[in-house]
Amino acid sequence: MRSLLLLTLFFVSTSFATKIDPTTILGVWKTGEGTAHIQIVQNGSTFQGKIIWLRDPIDPVSGKPKTDQKHPDSKVRNRPIIGLTNVWGFTYKGDGVWENGKIYDPKNGKTYDCIIKLKDNNTLSVRGYIGVTLIGRTDLWTRQAN
């Protein structure tokens, strides 16, 4: 009986110790390739992020800041990449997982469903996918600042 009580106390204390604050995702994150920094903020009950830094911010042809040239809507193709919201709609599901979001890739002008998982306090696993999570790509982002 005493063993059962100790085991129960262990599991209860472990479950409380592993609670993750939904705002852990907030901050500035470097993409896996290191080409951009994304600042994630809370927007009401959801989380979103925007591009705040690019390794190569200037278009080599025009000599001007890079714009969203690949976007399917030609009306917004001249908006700057820096300042562009490229992840949005994420809700915290628990256990370090944010779901139901979207990620936009300005390199190809496509938007994907996305799930973000906290690997540790300084690493996010960001998976963009089409339809099901099996069909997609995962990128590891590293924290740059809170």
Tracing tokens 């919201």 back to the chain, one arrives at 85
Given this model, what pLDDT does residue 7 score?
A: 36
Given this model, what pLDDT does residue 84 score?
A: 98
Quote the longest CA-to-CA distance of the chain.
76
**What's the gap between Cα 27 and its chain centre?**
10
Given this model, what pLDDT does residue 15 score?
A: 41
Tell me the domains of the chain and their CATH numbers: 21-145 (2.40.128.520)
Q: What are the residue ranges in the chain where pLDDT is below 50?
A: 3-17
The amino acid that residue 13 corresponds to is S
Whole-angstrom CA distances from 31 to 80, 101, 145 are: 18, 17, 13
Given this model, what pLDDT does residue 6 score?
A: 37
Q: What is the pTM of this model?
A: 0.86
Given this model, what pLDDT does residue 19 score?
A: 86
Given this model, what pLDDT does residue 18 score?
A: 60
